[in-house]
């Protein structure tokens, strides 16, 4: 599943939960207000409104959307993210592949987010994994949430090649 599709599914599930709890009034706030509330784009808001309209939760009255019925969890999507253990295994394999293929070199700077996106895992998994190497001075943590690849030159380089 693509990153934007995953975001849309998560937002739809979050809005369904908020509607079920009564946190969102009827008629719904404007698209701009919803985008700001959930820190998403208006395109994602329009997708969410379209989905909930197709499910029969919302109906459009003029320029406003009105809640027709209380949503249930069947209106949303199943969350299908891999467990942290599985993501850790996936990242470890991807990380060593990047080193072996010389995509990561000694002295290079990279961000946790870049690595997480490349491997398709959570940034939390990447951070926890890289912290193991930091205590041996193989990776230097910079303040900007990026890490400098110090020494794949010694321990990691020899083991990975």
CATH number at residue 140: 1.10.10.10
- 63 and 16 co-located in one domain: yes
For residue 54, how many other CB atoms are within 10 A of its CB?
A: 10
The closest alpha carbon to 137, from 148, 126, 127, 129, belongs to 148
Q: Which residues contact 85 (CB under 8 A, 6 or more apart)?
A: none
pLDDT band for position 32 (50/70/90)?
A: very high
- 68 and 26 co-located in one domain: yes
CA distances from 44 to 28, 51, 64, 96, 115 (A): 15, 11, 17, 35, 25
- 91 and 71 co-located in one domain: no
Residue range 98-156, pLDDT digits in tens = 888 888 888 888 888 888 888 888 788 888 888 888 888 888 777 655 555 554 444 45
The residue out of 75, 100, 121 marking a domain boundary is: 75
- 67 and 114 co-located in one domain: no
The residue out of 43, 75, 107 marking a domain boundary is: 75
Q: Which one is predicted more confidently, 93 or 3?
A: 93
Q: Residue 160 above 50 pLDDT?
A: no
- 112 and 51 co-located in one domain: no
The residue out of 75, 100, 128 marking a domain boundary is: 75
| Total domain count, the chain | 2
- 69 and 101 co-located in one domain: no
Residue range 62-109, pLDDT digits in tens = 989 999 988 887 787 776 566 778 888 888 998 989 888 888 888 888
User: Alpha-carbon distance 13 to 78, whole Å?
Assistant: 9
pTM of the model: 0.49
- Structural domain including 114 reads 84-160
């Amino acid at each position: 599943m693509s990153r934007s599709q995953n975001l849309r599914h998560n937002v739809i599930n979050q809005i369904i939960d908020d509607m079920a709890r009564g946190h969102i009034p009827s008629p719904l706030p404007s698209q701009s207000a919803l985008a700001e509330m959930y820190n998403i784009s208006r395109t994602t808001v329009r997708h969410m409104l379209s989905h909930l309209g197709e499910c029969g939760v919302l109906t459009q009255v003029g320029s406003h959307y009105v809640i027709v019925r209380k949503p249930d969890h069947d209106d949303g999507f199943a969350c299908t993210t891999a467990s942290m253990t599985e993501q850790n295994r996936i990242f470890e394999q991807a990380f060593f592949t990047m080193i072996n293929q010389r995509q990561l070199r000694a002295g290079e700077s990279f961000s946790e987010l870049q690595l997480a996106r490349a491997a398709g895992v959570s940034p939390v998994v990447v951070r926890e994994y890289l912290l193991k190497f930091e205590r041996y001075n193989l990776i230097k943590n910079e303040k900007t949430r990026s890490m400098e690849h110090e020494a794949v030159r010694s321990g990691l380089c020899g083991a990975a090649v």
